[in-house]
Amino acid sequence: MTTPALPMSPALAGRLAGDPLVLLLDIDGTLSPIAPRPQDAAIAPATRETLAALARLSDVHVVAISGRAAQDAARLVGLDSVWIVGNHGIEIAAPGATPEIHADIARFAEQLSEASTDARAVVEETPGAILEDKRWTLSVHQRLVARDAIAALDARIADIANKHRLALTHGKEVLELRPTVKIDKGTAALELAVRLGALAGGASLLSGGDDRTDEDMFRALRSRESRWVTVHVDGGSVYSTAAEFSVPDPEAMRALLRMVLEQRVARARTVAR
């Protein structure tokens, strides 16, 4: 069972008041509503403004951590002041910088290219299915597929994963083909937490996500530091989450982030006096 993050309790506010504050935020379903097609997703202007204001604070680091390719995630976020983690941790880009991939991923390029060709053929034969080729991972979206056709689609994509020796994971209405390397949102979240100073005494960290792939992040963070805050964006999920807190939807996540912003701005004004 999770604890509602809203209204924000004094105890939760205290856990988010440290310096620095690291924000690790999924995009689709967390910062933006889930869209029928990946290309239709959009972050509300009010959410983008809140992220921009947080990123401008000297003691806050904002990280968008997504299953999308880093370039696509950066396009959707639309802020050069935000760190971007793409492809579930395979790509990492500092604010305004070119994404870098882990050294042990490049060797999977040929397998992924061949798997993409095979997956595209399956998708073209399955009405409603969408292939998102992110170079280092492949996503097959099922949201628009007839419910009685999903089992067959799952089986064919699983066969492709086995043929090309790739890992297969299940997300929210999506299948993911990935390199068989232990890199996920959990490993990426811990890497950025260390890199950005969240392990320092008095630091704070908040992570938010809505999908099964975000559970890797929640488990990794909670096992490392119990004081770090993990928030599941429920969105009608039918599975249990490893997160400690929850909000119902992206609008509520924006409200939570806004409260964090206002708390820090108010504190800065008090100190300035």
Which residues contact residue 65 at a Cβ distance below 8 angstroms, ignoring those fewer than 6 apart?
Answer: 24, 25, 26, 27, 85, 89, 185, 188, 189, 192, 207, 209, 217
Half-sphere exposure of 90 (CA within 13 A, CB side): 24
Catalytic option among 26, 72, 210, 216: 26
Tell the residue number behind the tokens 């998708």, with chain if given: 123
Single-letter amino acid, residue 40: D
228: closest CA among 270, 186, 264, 259? 186
Helix (H) or strand (E) holding 175: strand 174-178
Beta pairing, strands 130-133 & 138-141: antiparallel
- Cβ atoms of residues 150 and 134 within 8 Å: no
Residue 217 CB burial class (10 angstroms; 0-12, 13-18, ≥19): buried
Q: Is 26 noted as a catalytic residue in this protein?
A: yes
* Residues labelled as active-site residues: 26
